[in-house]
Amino acid sequence: MTRLRAPGGCPWDREQTFDSIKPYTLEETYEVLDAIDRRDFPALAEELGDFLLQAVFYAEIAREQGLFDISTALDHINHKLVRRHPHVFADGDARTSDEVKQRWDEIKKTEKSAPQGLLDGVSRAQPALAEAAQISSKAAAAGFDWPDIDGVLDKVREELDELKQAASPSEREAELGDLLFTLVNVARFHKIDPEQALRRTNRKFRDRFAYVEAELEKRGRTVQQSAAAEGIRELESLWQEAKCRNQS
């Protein structure tokens, strides 16, 4: 990377800034997740290389500006891992993963230079689904939570009713957001990562839709042509076939 950004190196790499490569960082992150979801480990090895390149790229830009270098970043995470795992590197005690998480959060609070609100540590610069999961977990850990899953499910039904009654686009958007946030809490109660759950459903929908397209192609038709001729009937029948082929 030093050679690429040096005089006589790559014009594109030399032009990049912290801000210009942010979209690539997000893209590479999702490509890593996709390779894991598909259990494509040769692809994962390649994608992890692309993912690591992002850290090297940022660090090289920082080194050029006299801010820090890659060793500084690695030192930070090494010290943090040791500091937040006293049950491994010191005389701390934690027997379960829940105890580890609780201790991690407690240590993290002591590292803050100034008092913060409970949710201030949750990054806003992340996908909304992930942010909602972190917000709800933080609030629940402080005691702001339903006593059991039944209360959350009742809230889901309440939010659905409010969505049905919403009169304007703005109200519908607000109510849909409330519903999605409540569903994230359902996922938390069941110890499910909502992002991964949705990614699995997206993959399942892709597979089933591809089956519908392939079957229609055998009949000399497209999805649009089938919908125009028969409405949803033929498409629903093929969808159910696809569903029976793979119940996962």
* 8 Å CB contact between 152 and 139: no
Question: Is residue 120 included in any domain, yes or no?
Answer: yes
pLDDT for residue 15: 96
Same domain, 173 and 201: no
Same domain, 187 and 213: no
CATH of the domain at 54: 1.10.287.1080
Same domain, 148 and 211: no
Question: Is residue 75 included in any domain, yes or no?
Answer: no
Select from 192, 210, 234 the last residue of a domain: 192
Number of structural domains, the chain? 3
Question: Is residue 90 included in any domain, yes or no?
Answer: no
pLDDT for residue 182: 97
Same domain, 180 and 241: no
Closest residue by Cα to residue 9 from 64, 90, 55, 76:
64
**Each residue's pLDDT tens digit, 20-64:** 998 899 889 989 988 998 999 999 999 999 999 999 999 999 999
Give the separation between CA 93 and CA 206, rounded to whole angstroms. 46
Same domain, 219 and 176: no
Question: Is residue 53 included in any domain, yes or no?
Answer: yes
Same domain, 184 and 117: yes
Question: Is residue 101 included in any domain, yes or no?
Answer: no
Low-confidence ranges of the chain (pLDDT < 70): 113-115, 246-248
**Helix/strand/coil (H, E, C) string of the chain?**
CHHHHCCCCCHHHHHCCCCCCHHHHHHHHHHHHHHHHCCCHHHHHHHHHHHHHHHHHHHHHHHHCCCCCHHHHHHHHHHHHHHCCHHHHCCCCCCCHHHHHHHHHHHHHHCCCCCCCCCCCCCCCCCHHHHHHHHHHHHHHCCCCCCCHHHHHHHHHHHHHHHHHCCCHHHHHHHHHHHHHHHHHHHHHCCCCHHHHHHHHHHHHHHHHHHHHHHHHHCCCCHHHHHHHHCCHHHHHHHHHHHHHCCC
Question: Is residue 131 included in any domain, yes or no?
Answer: yes
Can you tell me which residue has the tokens 């899953």?
Answer: 149
Same domain, 141 and 201: no
Q: Domain of 215?
A: 196-245
pLDDT for residue 124: 84
Select from 68, 97, 124 the last residue of a domain: 68
Question: Is residue 49 included in any domain, yes or no?
Answer: yes
Same domain, 227 and 174: no
Question: Is residue 146 included in any domain, yes or no?
Answer: yes
Predicted TM-score (pTM) of this structure: 0.61
